[in-house]
Structure formats: structure tokens, C-alpha cells
């Protein structure tokens, strides 16, 4: 096939469709019909899977207009299952980009010289040194700038001191734009309730904290170290400290250790009385690993002679709400916030549902090269850009024009433009109003989600709305009654399985998760706030019961059954194959959930093909995608559903001489036992102890390089196993040859050429045979070796093949060059053997 090869895929421009084989052309036609895509109009690049049955049709709108075009839309067509997966990158901050365009076009294309020159320059600058990380826009742009260059009119131009640094870099991605309070806190040393407060931005120097039942005072020491006003009391460790009022009071894992119910009530009510804004209550939840003990009152006496009351989430919520006569809001399993300040409660509930879609992270208006003459309005913008750009950002964040009270630089803007309204009108003329409309719709979705969840949780409507919320309601819905009616309408749709499934499919088209064959949508929790309102409400209804999903990694929306699964993994971000630690299955219809923990009783399973569930803005996405494609290209595992068990996976990987190094699959660096299987029929010993000289001398002849064993394995799997399958077992006459054995072989050999030394090195640490790979000589008894040689040439990816005589062994190698050289060793009249290359069909 003509095109650019990457792993087990071939890429080419649609103009080369007619130059591919008839079979490939037919498959492209079928893919076009299934996806309803037209060449040039809907796609211009074909991504063809060599070893599978899938074709991707990719659309790069600016293929010929920009040096490294950005992918706008992709259609992946599974020809076997007649399934089409569409993905749009229109709203992505970090879309895939295309390099080496000349490899996708025909040799005679008129622009190929231009593209080859561009590629050559990129290579000279070292831009292709690490190909794994450059496939996406943010990393590519950052790398070009790091090398001290910029792209202007399709050319690499050195950056001068006067050039502004572009602002639309990775810092505008969700993970970078959100500045969370107290990232310096050592969260591993904070209790779970305090971590919840930190995640929601409540731990700062403006709010005081009182730890009611502070134990040994670990939280107090950590908070003081971070300049947070904090005090505490404990009946055992700090009985002399005063119980005092605070903005935030933490009653952390206290009520579950009090065996007397009345005393338990007094502790809860006493903590609430000390609270000015938020009371945080936490207690132990029952699960399959809960400690067993002797029943006592409504709990148990444990083996340590302590009392424990294990709650269910529902039971704990009812206990808190009924006792304090106010709503307890779950923020994590066993952890609840109870607000005394209703304005703070409203802001908290709304912010939990606030979307962080890309439209809210639009960078400042980009500027090209300085123009010779600016218009009057452009001069005004340049003069007051430091005021207008932040105003535009705030407008997008609100999804509406800000009120005067919401403009921080009101005085400066008024002095510059006369009135705030004039400043707002001028701002709208400078920026794209379409972006504001998108931001407006995003904020409407936020409110629909917020109000729908208020209805679902049966919360009483607020008698008074916080001023900012009042302005939002008026701008987006007209009045509160209309807003609630709209929210109820969306809420009722979550029981409609067809609507949920349709919306799940739409989400995948925007790069938000993976929709599987069981009608379930999987996605990372970082993508939840970018989902359509219907799915955010569906997930939000689960959080009403379970609590926040911040500590969850993966979400599974069961579109047909009204269920939701939450999965937590061991180092999800940092591992290519994270291990499952905890799974929670929530039944929305029955308002119950089951908790499953993995470790002792249940073996933690691997999450395969993680790139499906994240998107290109997630940390290490490019490396993860490369790892997943490597894993699929090995074709060793069935990854269609949950994949192999961890033990089976590790064993199979090791057997085929592969191992994992960070986010890469690399060849094994270990030395196997000689009697380990090398392919399907042979062992390493067979390939190492088969030569006449080795057998006569008894020399160990062991490879010292792990790559030599890897090469022997590849030779066995790709050449020898297929030959044994077809002809039956053969006799090896010469296999691996170490540096030491080579010195003892007296007949004429060519160790620098014959590949019998595999990847071994001489005493000067130089490769004995630079061709690498591995080779053997063998004979099939009672077979014409010409027929054997011809069969190998036609059916295997051999490197070099030497034929001597119909009754003599053949020499065959497998190596990285895959030269496919078939050589006949012809005996001349003088008795000398000379090589003659045989032409292959």
C-alpha cells in the first residue's frame, strides 16, 4: 500500500485511493457508505488498519493551507460490526496534528518538494526526536517555541526578543486553569473530611476552623502550617481546650465511636451550635470489609475493645437531617456538609454543577504580525487591552454581560470609555459574539443541572436567592418559576433510556468518553462537567445519594438500566494500566448503592485501552495513546471487553519477550531459561545448542544480550513456527553463534553478515553483525529444500534466505531490515559458490 506507515496503520491522502489495491478500494467504498462520508468534502485522509478490519476517515480542513494541519473530525468504521464512531475536535484545545504531509501524497504531487523541505527543517531542529509526544497541538507548539522558533507563513522563523509569547498554550487547559486552594497541603496527612473542604476551596485564611474531637491534632498541625486559623478540642487528648465558634466545624469520625445514642446527639448538636457557616460530619460506612465484633447497642465492640457504629449512606444522611432539621449534603461516602449560611449553600451547590467547557477557557484575542496601519478602534483596543481582555474573560465565565457590581475595574473602564455600558459595547465589537452565545448555553446547562438536582433531592426552594444567582436566573430564564419548569422537564428525561443513550452517543462524538457494545458510556470524571445537561443530571442524581465524585477516576453510565458505576484506580493518571481499587454501583431507581473493594478478596483488574476514556487534554494522553496502539499492534490479547486477568496478561507479555517501561512497551531486558519455550515448538536451547562445533566442544554458547533472545524469539514466531506448521518438525543444523563459538568454527563463515550472532557484541563492545536479527540453518527430512525455500519466501516476512541445494540445509534470517533477499548459491565450473539474487513475485 502507498502511504505513511505508523505502527499497524497506513495513512494516505484520498487522492491515492485509486492507486491502492482493488480489495482496499472496495473496503474504502464500504466505509464511505457506512459513514456517509464523501471524499474531499467529509474527509481527505484515510487511516487504514493493516491487521484489522477498521478504517478511519479523517478530515483536515486546512490540509494544503497550513504546514501542520489540525484534525477536525474523524470517523472510525468497524467493517465487521458495521459500526461507526464519530469524533469531533472542533472544541478541543489540544487536537491531533499531522506531520510529514509529503508521505501521504503521490511522488509526483507538485507540492511535495515544499513539504519535504519543511520536514527536513523540522528534523534539523530536532522536532521529531521524540515522536510519541508531538502528535497533538499543545505539545507541538510548545516544542517549536522551546527550540526558539515560530511558524510564519509556513516557515520556521527564529523568535526575536520583541515577539510576544503566545497565550493560548496548555495553560488554558482545564487542569491548568483551575487554581485550587492549598495545593501545597500534604493531603496524605489530612483527614478525609479536611481533604473534602480543601477540594471545594473552603480551607483558606479567610475562614476559621474548629476541630470538634481533634484526636492527637494531626489536622490542626497541618492547617496551622498552612496559615489557616484553627483550634480544636478532644475529650481525651485536648480536654482543657475551649469549645469555640468557627466558620467551619469538623466533627470527624466522632459520632460512630460514641456508644450512647443520647451523647451522640449532644455531640452533633453541640458541634452545629458552634458553626457559623459549614459543619462537616463524617462516620464509618458499612462494607464487606467492615470489622466484625460483638453486638452492642446499635453497633459492635471491636477486637480492640472500641465501639463502632457502621452506617449506611442513607441512614447517616437521615440521622443528620432529622437531628439538625436541615439538609445534609453528601460530598463523599460517609462525609456530609451541613450549611448554616444559605447563600454559601446556594453557591456551593451551583458551583458543583458548573461546567468548565472549553468555551469558558477561551484565550485572549490572538494577534498576528504587526500591521502597518491600525484603525482608530484597533488603537483604542490596543490601549485598553489590559482592561478589555479580563472583562471579556469574565463575561464568558458568567455567560452574560456583567452587572456593574461584578466589574472589578469599573472605575478604570468608566474613565476610559465614559460609562460601563459603552465599555461593554466596545468589547462586544472586538470579540466573537458566537463565543458568548456558547458560554451562555453552557451556563444555562449549569443552572438546569443545579435546579434539577434540587428538585430530585426534594430540597425546599430558597426563600431568598443570592444576588448573583438572581441576575443569572433573570438573564437566562426570565424568572425563577420558568427556570424550575425547564429543569423539571430535563429531569424527567433521565428515566427515558432512549434519550440517555442518544445523549451518550453525542457525548462520544465530542471526545467525551467511550460508548461500548453494552450501551454504556465510560469516561473520566474530569470530563463530566463538559457533558450535556441531561447526563450531568443523571450523574448528579447519583451524587445526591453517594456524594462527590472527585475521588473517583472512571464513571460508567448504564444507559438502559438506570444505574451508574464509579471506579477508583491506583494512580490512574500515572500508569498506562491502572489497577482497580474500588467500584461503587449506584441504582438510581432504587436509591441504593453497593461498594466493592479490591485487594485481598478480589484481585485488582487492569484498565486496558485507557485512552478511550480520556481525551487529548488529559495528562500523558499522547503517551497513553501510543501505548494502547502498541498493545493492540502486538495482537496478543482479546481487549474487546474487560481484557485478560492481570496474571495472564503479565505471563503472556513475558512469554513473548515484552515488558512495560513507563508508558512504553519495550522488548524484554531479562535473560530467559534455556528450556523456556521459544515460540510454539522450540526452546531457546534448541536454537543455541544445535551447531556441530558447539556440540563437539560443549561450549556454553550463551547469548549475553537480552536482545539476542528477543531476536531468536521473533525468528521462531515469524519464520520457524509457520514452517513447522506446514512441513512438520525439521532438524536444526546451525543456530545462535556467540563470539566465543565463532572463534572455534574452522570452516568459512561470515559473522559480520550471517546474523547467527544476533545482537551480541565483541570484546570492543561493537556489534558482531550490524544487520541484527537472528538466523538459523535447517533441513526438512524427505522434502525438496527448494520447495521449502520457495514456501518461506512466499509466506513469511523473512530478511535473508540462502538456498544451496535441494538436499542441503537452507539459511534463513529474520531482522529489522526485512530485506526479503532470496539468494541462490550457485556452483560454478571451477567449484566455487557464487551468490545470485532470485527475483520474487
Give pLDDT tens digits for 254-308: 998 899 999 999 999 999 999 999 999 998 877 544 556 788 888 888 777 888 8
SS3 percent helix, strand, coil of the chain, rounded to 5, is: 40, 20, 40
What's the average model confidence in pLDDT over 168-195? Answer: 44
DSSP calls for 177-215: H---TTTTS-GGGS-HHHHHHHHTT--STTS-EEEET-T
Sheet arrangement for strand 520-524: 514-515, 520-524, 554-558, 563-570, 579-587, 592-597
Query: pLDDT value at position 225?
Result: 87
Query: pLDDT value at position 168?
Result: 40
Query: pLDDT value at position 507?
Result: 93
SS3 of residue 515 by DSSP: strand
Say yes or no to pLDDT of 819 above 60.
yes
Least confident piece of the model among 76-90, 124-138, 164-178, 764-778: 164-178
| Residue keyed to cell 457533558 | 531
Under a CB-based contact definition with an 8 Å cutoff, are residues 352 and 449 in contact?
Answer: no
The residue among 286 and 38 whose pLDDT is bigger is 38
Compute the distance between CA of residue 547 and CA of residue 589 in angstroms, rounded to an integer.
17
Task: Give the pLDDT band (50/70/90) at residue 372.
Answer: low
Q: State the pTM of this model.
A: 0.73
Task: Give the pLDDT band (50/70/90) at residue 226.
Answer: confident
- Looking at mean pLDDT, say which of 324-338, 543-557, 780-794 comes out highest: 780-794
Least confident piece of the model among 109-123, 168-182, 323-337: 168-182
Adjacent-strand bridge partners of 299: 296
Phi, psi of 212, rounded to the nearest 5 degrees: -85, 105
Task: Give the pLDDT band (50/70/90) at residue 678.
Answer: very high
What's the average model confidence in pLDDT over 656-672? Answer: 95
Compute the distance between CA of residue 429 and CA of residue 638 in angstroms, rounded to an integer.
56
Least confident piece of the model among 92-101, 173-182, 653-662: 173-182
Under a CB-based contact definition with an 8 Å cutoff, are residues 280 and 211 in contact?
Answer: no
Query: pLDDT value at position 730?
Result: 95
Opening angle at CA 376, ends 375 and 378, nearest 5: 65
Phi, psi of 328, rounded to the nearest 5 degrees: -100, 125
Adjacent-strand bridge partners of 588: none
- The model's pLDDT over 380-427, given as tens digits with 9 standing for 90+, comes to 988 998 999 999 999 999 999 999 989 988 999 999 999 999 999 999
DSSP calls for 559-620: TTTTEEEEEEEETTTT-SSPEEEEEEEEETTTTEEEEEE-SSSSPPPB---GGGGS-TTSTT
Phi, psi of 372, rounded to the nearest 5 degrees: -60, -35
Look at the alpha carbons of 406, 411, 413, 414 in this order and tell me if their dihedral is positive or negative: positive
Compute the distance between CA of residue 310 and CA of residue 297 in angstroms, rounded to an integer.
12
- Helices and strands per DSSP (H, E), number in the chain: 26, 33
Query: pLDDT value at position 681?
Result: 96
Consecutive H or E run containing 831 = none
Percent of the chain at pLDDT exceeding 90: 56
Under DSSP, the state recorded for 176 is: H
Say yes or no to pLDDT of 172 above 50.
no
Query: pLDDT value at position 183?
Result: 23
Say yes or no to pLDDT of 346 above 60.
yes
Compute the distance between CA of residue 437 and CA of residue 431 in angstroms, rounded to an integer.
12
Query: pLDDT value at position 76?
Result: 93
Residue-averaged pLDDT of the chain: 87
Percent of the chain at pLDDT exceeding 70: 92
Query: pLDDT value at position 293?
Result: 74
| Residue keyed to cell 466596545 | 426
C-alpha cell at 289: 470489609
Say yes or no to pLDDT of 71 above 80.
yes
Query: pLDDT value at position 10?
Result: 92
Query: pLDDT value at position 522?
Result: 96
Phi, psi of 772, rounded to the nearest 5 degrees: 60, -160
What's the average model confidence in pLDDT over 698-707? Answer: 94
Burial class (CB in 10 A: 0-12, 13-18, 19+), 655: middle
Task: Give the pLDDT band (50/70/90) at residue 177.
Answer: very low
Query: pLDDT value at position 592?
Result: 83
Compute the distance between CA of residue 831 and CA of residue 833 in angstroms, rounded to an integer.
7
Query: pLDDT value at position 504?
Result: 94
Say yes or no to pLDDT of 656 above 80.
yes
Phi, psi of 459, rounded to the nearest 5 degrees: -80, 140
Burial class (CB in 10 A: 0-12, 13-18, 19+), 637: middle
Adjacent-strand bridge partners of 218: none
Compute the distance between CA of residue 634 and CA of residue 637 in angstroms, rounded to an integer.
8
Task: Give the pLDDT band (50/70/90) at residue 52.
Answer: low
Largest distance between two CA atoms of the chain: 112
Query: pLDDT value at position 191?
Result: 82
Adjacent-strand bridge partners of 73: 59, 88
Query: pLDDT value at position 600?
Result: 72
Under a CB-based contact definition with an 8 Å cutoff, are residues 555 and 504 in contact?
Answer: no
Query: pLDDT value at position 70?
Result: 94
| Residue keyed to cell 556454553 | 700
| Residue keyed to cell 464523501 | 38
Look at the alpha carbons of 396, 397, 400, 403 in this order and tell me if their dihedral is positive or negative: negative
Looking only at the bridges linking them, the beta strands covering 209-212 and 246-252 are parallel
Distances (CA, A) of 607 to 125, 311, 490, 574, 636: 37, 31, 33, 13, 16
758: closest CA among 777, 771, 738, 773?
773
Under a CB-based contact definition with an 8 Å cutoff, are residues 419 and 411 in contact?
Answer: no
Total residues belonging to the chain: 841
Query: pLDDT value at position 291?
Result: 53
Query: pLDDT value at position 460?
Result: 64
First to last CA, the chain: 16
Query: pLDDT value at position 268?
Result: 95
**In terms of DSSP H, where are the helices of 44-183?**
112-124, 137-146, 174-177
672: closest CA among 686, 689, 685?
685
Task: Give the pLDDT band (50/70/90) at residue 458.
Answer: confident
Say yes or no to pLDDT of 365 above 80.
no
Consecutive H or E run containing 803 = strand 800-803
Query: pLDDT value at position 298?
Result: 84
- Going along the chain from its start, the domains and CATH numbers come out as 4-166 (no CATH), 197-340 (3.40.50.150), 346-366+376-495 (no CATH), 677-838 (3.30.1380)
Say yes or no to pLDDT of 358 above 50.
no
Amino acid at each position: 500500500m502507498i502511504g505513511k506507515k505508523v505502527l499497524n496503520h497506513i495513512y494516505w491522502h484520498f487522492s491515492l485511493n485509486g492507486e491502492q489495491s482493488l480489495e482496499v478500494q472496495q473496503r474504502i467504498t464500504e466505509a464511505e457508505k457506512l459513514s456517509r462520508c464523501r471524499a474531499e468534502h467529509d474527509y481527505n485522509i484515510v487511516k487504514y488498519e493493516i491487521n484489522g478490519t477498521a478504517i478511519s476517515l479523517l478530515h483536515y480542513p486546512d490540509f494544503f493551507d497550513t504546514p501542520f494541519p489540525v484534525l477536525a473530525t474523524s470517523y472510525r468504521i468497524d467493517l465487521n460490526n458495521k459500526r461507526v464512531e464519530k469524533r469531533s475536535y472542533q472544541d478541543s484545545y489540544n487536537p491531533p496534528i499531522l506531520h510529514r504531509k509529503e508521505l501521504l501524497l503521490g511522488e509526483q504531487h507538485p507540492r511535495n518538494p515544499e513539504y519535504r523541505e519543511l520536514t527536513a527543517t523540522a528534523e534539523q531542529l530536532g522536532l521529531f526526536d521524540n515522536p510519541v509526544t508531538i502528535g497533538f497541538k499543545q505539545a507541538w507548539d510548545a516544542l517549536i517555541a522551546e527550540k526558539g522558533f515560530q511558524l510564519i507563513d509556513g516557515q520556521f522563523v527564529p523568535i526575536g526578543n520583541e515577539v510576544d509569547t503566545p497565550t493560548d498554550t496548555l495553560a488554558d487547559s482545564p487542569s491548568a486553569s483551575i487554581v485550587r486552594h492549598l495545593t501545597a497541603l500534604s493531603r496524605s496527612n489530612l483527614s478525609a473530611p479536611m481533604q473534602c473542604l480543601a477540594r471545594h476551596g473552603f480551607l483558606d485564611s479567610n475562614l476559621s476552623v474548629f476541630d470538634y474531637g481533634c484526636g492527637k491534632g494531626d489536622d490542626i498541625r497541618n492547617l496551622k502550617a498552612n496559615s489557616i486559623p484553627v483550634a480544636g478540642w478532644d475529650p481525651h487528648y485536648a480536654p482543657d481546650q475551649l469549645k469555640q465558634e468557627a466558620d467551619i466545624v469538623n466533627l470527624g469520625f466522632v459520632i460512630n465511636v460514641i456508644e450512647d445514642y443520647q451523647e451522640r446527639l449532644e455531640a452533633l448538636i453541640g458541634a452545629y451550635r458552634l458553626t457559623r457557616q459549614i459543619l462537616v460530619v463524617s462516620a464509618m460506612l458499612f462494607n464487606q470489609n467492615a470489622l466484625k465484633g460483638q453486638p452492642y447497642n446499635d453497633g459492635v465492640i471491636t477486637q480492640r475493645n472500641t465501639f463502632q457504629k457502621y452506617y449506611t449512606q442513607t441512614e447517616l444522611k437521615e440521622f443528620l437531617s432529622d437531628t439538625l432539621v436541615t439538609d445534609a449534603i453528601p460530598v463523599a461516602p460517609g462525609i456530609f456538609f451541613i450549611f448554616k449560611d444559605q447563600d454559601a449553600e446556594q453557591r456551593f451547590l451551583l458551583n458543583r454543577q458548573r461546567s468548565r467547557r472549553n468555551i469558558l477557557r477561551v484565550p485572549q484575542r490572538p494577534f498576528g504580525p504587526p500591521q502597518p496601519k491600525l484603525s482608530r478602534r484597533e488603537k483604542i483596543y490596543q490601549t485598553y487591552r489590559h482592561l478589555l481582555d479580563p472583562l471579556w474573560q469574565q463575561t464568558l465565565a458568567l455567560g452574560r454581560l456583567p452587572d456593574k457590581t461584578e466589574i472589578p475595574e469599573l472605575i478604570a473602564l468608566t474613565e476610559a470609555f465614559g460609562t460601563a455600558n459603552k465599555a461593554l459595547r466596545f468589547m462586544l465589537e472586538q470579540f466573537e459574539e458566537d463565543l458568548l452565545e456558547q458560554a451562555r448555553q453552557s451556563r444555562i446547562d449549569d443552572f438546569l443541572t443545579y435546579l434539577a438536582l434540587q428538585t430530585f433531592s426534594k430540597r425546599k426552594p430558597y426563600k431568598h436567592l443570592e444576588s448573583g444567582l438572581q441576575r443569572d436566573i433573570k438573564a437566562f430564564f426570565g424568572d425563577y418559576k420558568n427556570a424550575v419548569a425547564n429543569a423539571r422537564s430535563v429531569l424527567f428525561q433521565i428515566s427515558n433510556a432512549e434519550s440517555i443513550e442518544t445523549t451518550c452517543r453525542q457525548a462520544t462524538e465530542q471526545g467525551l468518553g467511550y460508548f461500548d457494545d453494552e450501551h454504556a458510556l465510560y469516561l473520566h470524571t474530569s470530563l463530566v462537567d463538559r457533558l450535556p445537561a441531561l447526563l450531568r443530571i443523571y450523574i448528579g442524581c447519583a451524587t445526591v445519594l453517594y456524594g462527590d465524585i472527585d475521588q473517583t477516576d472512571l464513571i460508567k453510565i448504564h444507559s438502559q438500566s438506570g444505574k451508574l458505576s464509579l471506579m477508583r484506580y491506583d494512580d490512574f493518571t500515572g500508569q498506562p494500566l491502572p489497577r482497580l481499587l474500588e467500584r461503587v454501583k449506584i441504582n438510581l431507581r432504587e436509591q441504593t448503592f453497593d461498594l466493592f473493594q479490591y485487594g485481598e478478596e478480589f484481585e485488582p483488574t487492569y484498565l486496558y485501552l485507557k485512552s478511550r476514556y480520556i481525551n487529548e487534554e488529559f495528562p500523558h494522553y499522547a503517551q497513553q495513546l501510543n501505548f494502547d496502539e502498541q498493545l493492540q499492534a502486538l495482537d496478543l490479547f482479546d481487549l474487546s471487553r474487560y481484557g485478560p486477568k492481570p496474571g495472564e496478561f503479565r505471563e503472556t507479555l513475558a512469554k513473548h519477550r515484552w515488558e512495560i517501561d513507563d508508558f512504553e512497551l519495550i522488548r524484554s531486558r531479562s535473560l530467559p531459561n534455556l528450556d523456556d519455550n521459544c515460540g510454539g515448538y522450540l526452546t531457546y536451547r534448541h536454537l543455541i545448542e544445535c551447531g556441530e562445533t558447539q556440540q563437539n566442544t560443549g561450549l556454553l554458547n550463551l547469548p549475553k544480550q537480552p536482545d539476542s533472545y528477543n531476536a531468536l524469539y521473533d525468528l521462531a514466531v515469524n519464520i520457524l513456527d509457520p514452517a513447522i506448521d506446514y512441513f512438520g518438525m525439521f532438524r536444526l543444523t546451525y543456530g545462535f553463534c556467540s563470539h566465543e563459538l565463532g572463534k572455534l568454527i574452522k570452516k568459512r563463515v561470515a559473522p559480520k553478515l550471517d546474523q547467527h550472532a544476533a545482537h551480541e557484541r565483541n570484546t570492543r563492545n561493537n556489534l558482531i553483525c550490524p544487520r541484527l536479527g537472528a538466523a538459523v540453518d535447517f533441513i526438512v527430512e524427505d522434502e525438496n529444500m527448494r520447495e521449502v525455500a520457495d514456501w518461506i519466501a512466499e509466506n513469511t516476512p523473512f530478511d535473508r534466505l540462502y538456498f544451496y541445494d535441494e538436499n542441503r540445509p537452507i539459511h534463513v534470517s529474520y531482522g529489522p531490515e526485512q530485506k526479503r533477499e532470496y539468494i541462490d548459491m550457485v556452483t560454478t565450473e571451477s567449484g566455487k559458490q557464487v551468490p545470485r539474487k532470485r527475483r520474487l513475485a
